[in-house]
Structure 1
Amino acid sequence: MQYAFRGVTIDGGTVLYERPDNAVEALQLSPDRWYRELCDVIGDRELTPEEVDPLPADPRTRNPCAAD
């Protein structure tokens, strides 16, 4: 499977890429947005060993979305 780079916004916040089926999509490069979406999906729970094992570094916490 191969993706092709098609462009980037002036502010560098979004990359446009082409999927193998020729559809063009946008990937937002916002860690804050990724974090919000992660928490929307996993909720307030600890990461499983299967989720932690492939990470390149040990996470600071096993429950990244815990309410402060």
Structure 2
Amino acid sequence: MADASTYGRLAVPVLGIGSHLSYSYLQMSLPYVAENVQVVGILDSGHYMFEEKSVRVLAAVLAFLAPPAG
């Protein structure tokens, strides 16, 4: 996108969930587009991590949406 450099960084919390294929890319790229980033790696999964590791994906999403009180 030619105009991507004109966008501001996201101020809302952002969750990235990456398999062994995308985890490193998410770690490098998401901080450029968002201020509050959490990246979770499910490194023993491939392209279909929502199917292959659904329990772990769901756990990561739920933890992000409702972090433990502390």
TM-score (norm 2): 0.23
Q: Which has the bigger relative contact order, CA under 8 A and spacing at least 6?
A: 2
Judging by fraction of residues, say which structure has more strand: 2
* Structure of higher CA gyration radius: 1
TM-score (norm 1): 0.23
Judging by fraction of residues, say which structure has more helix: 2
